[in-house]
Structure 1
Amino acid sequence: MVVKHLRLVDRPASATARDALLRRGKRIDVATLLDDAVLRAQETDVPGRAAVSGFTWEPHDSGTELWYPQGVTTSADATGSGAAGTSGRNVVVVSWYAHEGALRNGARLTFVDLDTLHYRHVLLVRARRTPWGVCILPVPIHAGGIAWYGPYLYVAATRAGVYVFRVEDLLELPPRRRKGVAGRLGYDMVLPVHHRLTSRGRDAGSRVRYSFLSLAHGLPDTDSPPALVAGEYGGVGKTQRLWRYALDPETHLPRRGADGHATPDELHPDQSPRMQGATVLDGTWYVTTSQGRGNAGDLLVGEPGAFRRHKRVLPTGCEDIAAWPQRRQLWSVTEWPWMRWVYAVDADAWPGPVAPPPAEQSGARPIPPRPPASGAAPS
């Protein structure tokens, strides 16, 4: 399938500016980042029939209007890559966008040690060279979804495409080096952009929107590599599509065609309104849809065009979703102040559509019973 309007084109960040920024501080891995974390989330009962466990943030993060949680991924997505730097820890990562002053504040990631619930915020930044040195700028994106594959974190950027970050570039800035937005906001940990993937095409007059992202995990006992799932949030009059790109297990980047660009191998138009996240586990799609503040969300299970809707089983404000195959869990996050939870869902407890009977499935007409033999009394 050729889908030119979804073709991804590489837009590398300035390597010289990024390298100059990286020389300002000390690069650390995820394990060290969490060893120094002082903030601690709290286990809590999460409203919503599908939630089996979860936690909430410290009060200043749970109630802030400045930052809204959006995307979620886990260290399960990065399994098998030593570059992830987790030292075997179970890690959940949540993305936030700046709800107020977005062009000034941008977006951030929060790394959570699931065993201790200690967490630490990391500001996403761009490095720009100026006559006076390297300037640290925010990354002004909605960050509606994230996916962690090997050394890379993919972050959805709506119409700007997908921003790609290298986990090994986690940078701790000493106080005297915290210039620009990092200094103004008081962040000592930053993660600079590595490159950006853009798609500038239109379809039916609508520009492509990368509202959310996740890693699709293939069927068990197969060699099929993970894929990058993307989709659009859309209400009435908006496109509502799902698509996915094959990922190269060697480079951990989308597979390129002969033209050097990545093109999705699946595209599913006309999906559900108000989709907030989608992931794939063992060939089954799981999609979250929101119903407005104060209303419980829905979980769609099955495949595009044939979903079963489990109504009002998710907490209000449900957002992105990620699969944790080893635990047979789905992880999601909510956004509203004082109603902010990160929670797990038992993937096997929410089935897809019931298969039709074999005769109906094949389109065959039911066979009527044979009439009784002549002279025999009907049973």
Structure 2
Amino acid sequence: MAAVPFAGAAGTVLSPSAAHAAPVGRSQFRLAARASNGYGTFADMNAGLAARLPKVSVSTVLAGADRKAKRLTGAPSTAAAFQAGFAWDSADQAVNYWIPQGVTTSADAHNSGYYGGSDKVILVSWYFESDPDGDKVVDHPLDKGMRLTFVDYNNAAAPTYRHVLLVEPVRTSSGAPSFRPLRKHAGGIMWYGDFLYVVDTYKGLRIFDLRTLFKVATTEKDVCGLHTDGRYHGYGYQYVLPQSHAYDNAGTFLRYSTIGLDRAGDPDSLVIAEYSLSGTVDYGEDAFIGTGKPSTAVPKVVRWPLDQSSRYLSSLTPTEAVTVKQKKIQGAVSRKSRHYLSVSDGPSRKGALRTFTSSASTASTVAGLAVGCEDLSFHSKDASGWKYREHVIWNVSEYARKRYVYAVRADGS
């Protein structure tokens, strides 16, 4: 899909909801590590799958990319700050039951910007929407969960990509290793070393190890896991990526809407931000989904430290928590005490990239973002390999026929 750049002010979502930060007790938002589910340990079940299925590398998935993206020379609302990006092929632009949400890159995975030594890669998460027109009538009854797109960005002029199904390892009634779809929102993702962190909105974080990608059969489009034909299927996708670890919310309710990596501090850290319809106490249309509680009070940005060797959290207790009176936060990344937010404004008005500091009382607008802006990923100019002259921030937009993956300069220039 060709981009149609246009300029303009940042839209109506900005002025009514200025961001005001305030610190809150961080220890209340603790997490609990989990290495298993009701079927056994993730490690044992994934080892069982590895004994039955071919294991493949990220480079193999990229080499087998079966779709072509179109390079962007600009994107809606980002004319001043646009750096690079692409649009999906016509099928992925039009599909209404797969919705893109999260974005991260190999510049998150490693300081060099490369994965596997030399690959420039962008990852995008999608969730399956059974009722895409929102009329309360299920149009697609088989919810296929979440998928992850591997984009080969080694040639930015002609990116290629392939979709992979995200799954949870389980066992069949006979005890054989299998897997099932993950029917979650996939609202934000973060790549760190070999691990992909995915937010689970009402539960916490799920982790996927990119060294455990498996090749499966593709003949059964409506089957996921071990089938009666003795083969493994992933709804027609060539590859599946099973979960390998989890961090569950173990304290005060927190809505895990989006996730971002901060490499500017020592140690590295991740931040979680909350979505709210109003920017204050939210009793909106989705306030009680799955929890019996309000979606959130004043939205929060919460930070946990990362172990730069193991790539897991180094503490289950956050090191920072601040509230921010900002509605419709869809993405968040931080650089020490400075936080960047993507703020949406519905299906017809553009969004915005906003920034504030942990000690500040107001936020400022950095740049306009595309309609339906979602997750963010910070790409440092200091990356030793894949780098730009300035810091850039990647964003993904969600609405059909308005879907872009693009980077804007972090200073809005």
TM-score (normalised: structure 2): 0.76
Structure 1 match to 2:167: 125
Q: Would you say 1:67 and 2:121 are equivalent positions?
A: no
CA distance in 1, matches of 2:406, 2:234: 32
Percent of aligned pairs with the same amino acid: 34
Shift of 1:86: 2.7
Which residue type is aligned with residue 90 of structure 1?
A: K
Q: Would you say 1:242 and 2:301 are equivalent positions?
A: yes
2:363 to 284, 303, 308: 308
Q: Would you say 1:48 and 2:77 are equivalent positions?
A: yes
SS class of match (1:88): coil
CA distance in 1, matches of 2:143, 2:47: 23
CA distance in 1, matches of 2:308, 2:262: 13
Please state which structure has a larger fraction of its residues in helix: 1
Give the CA RMSD over aligned residues. 2.4
Q: Would you say 1:186 and 2:236 are equivalent positions?
A: yes
Structure 1 match to 2:398: 335
SS class of match (1:143): coil
SS class of match (2:401): coil
CA distance in 1, matches of 2:122, 2:320: 28
User: CA distance change for structure 1 residues 299 and 184 in 2, over 3 Å: closer, same or farther?
Assistant: closer
CA distance in 2, matches of 1:269, 1:62: 35
The Cα offsets for residues 85-134 of structure 1, whole Å up to 9 and x where unpaired, read as 53311111111111125983111110111133111111110111123323
Kept in 2, the 8 Å contact 1:3–1:264? The answer is yes
CA distance in 2, matches of 1:34, 1:298: 32
SS class of match (2:411): helix
CA distance in 2, matches of 1:248, 1:48: 37
Which residue type is aligned with residue 246 of structure 1?
A: P
Structure 1 match to 2:117: 87
Which residue type is aligned with residue 189 of structure 1?
A: Y
Structure 2 match to 1:348: 411
User: CA distance change for structure 1 residues 102 and 309 in 2, over 3 Å: closer, same or farther?
Assistant: farther
User: CA distance change for structure 1 residues 281 and 339 in 2, over 3 Å: closer, same or farther?
Assistant: same
Which residue type is aligned with residue 294 of structure 1?
A: S
Greater alpha carbon shift after TM alignment, 100-109 vs 45-54: 100-109
User: CA distance change for structure 1 residues 104 and 20 in 2, over 3 Å: closer, same or farther?
Assistant: farther
Structure 1 match to 2:15: none
Which residue type is aligned with residue 148 of structure 1?
A: W
Structure 1 match to 2:313: 254
CA distance in 2, matches of 1:91, 1:273: 31
Which residue type is aligned with residue 93 of structure 1?
A: L
The within-5 A match list for 1:1-379 is 3-13=26-36, 14=41, 15-44=43-72, 45-49=74-78, 50-79=81-110, 85-100=115-130, 104-116=143-155, 117-132=159-174, 133-175=176-218, 180-181=223-224, 183=233, 185-202=235-252, 207-218=253-264, 224-236=266-278, 237-238=281-282, 239=297, 240-256=299-315, 262-281=316-335, 283-304=337-358, 305-310=360-365, 313-326=368-381, 327=388, 328-349=391-412
User: CA distance change for structure 1 residues 180 and 344 in 2, over 3 Å: closer, same or farther?
Assistant: same
Unaligned runs of 5+ in 1: 257-261, 351-379
CA distance in 2, matches of 1:331, 1:4: 30
CA distance in 2, matches of 1:343, 1:51: 8
How many residues align? The count is 336
Kept in 2, the 8 Å contact 1:296–1:312? The answer is no
Kept in 1, the 8 Å contact 2:371–2:397? The answer is yes
Shift of 1:162: 0.4
SS class of match (2:349): coil
Shift of 1:174: 4.1
CA distance in 2, matches of 1:81, 1:265: 26
Shift of 1:79: 1.1
The Cα offsets for residues 261-312 of structure 1, whole Å up to 9 and x where unpaired, read as x111000114311101111236532111001111011211231444433287
CA distance in 2, matches of 1:25, 1:85: 24
Kept in 1, the 8 Å contact 2:193–2:311? The answer is yes
Unaligned runs of 5+ in 2: 1-23, 131-139, 226-232, 283-296, 382-387
CA distance in 2, matches of 1:97, 1:12: 24
Greater relative contact order structure (CA < 8 Å, 6+ sep): 2
CA distance in 1, matches of 2:322, 2:65: 41
CA distance in 2, matches of 1:245, 1:168: 24
The Cα offsets for residues 290-342 of structure 1, whole Å up to 9 and x where unpaired, read as 01111011211231444433287111100000111033111000000000000
The structure with the larger Rg is 1
Which residue type is aligned with residue 308 of structure 1?
A: A
Kept in 1, the 8 Å contact 2:69–2:88? The answer is yes
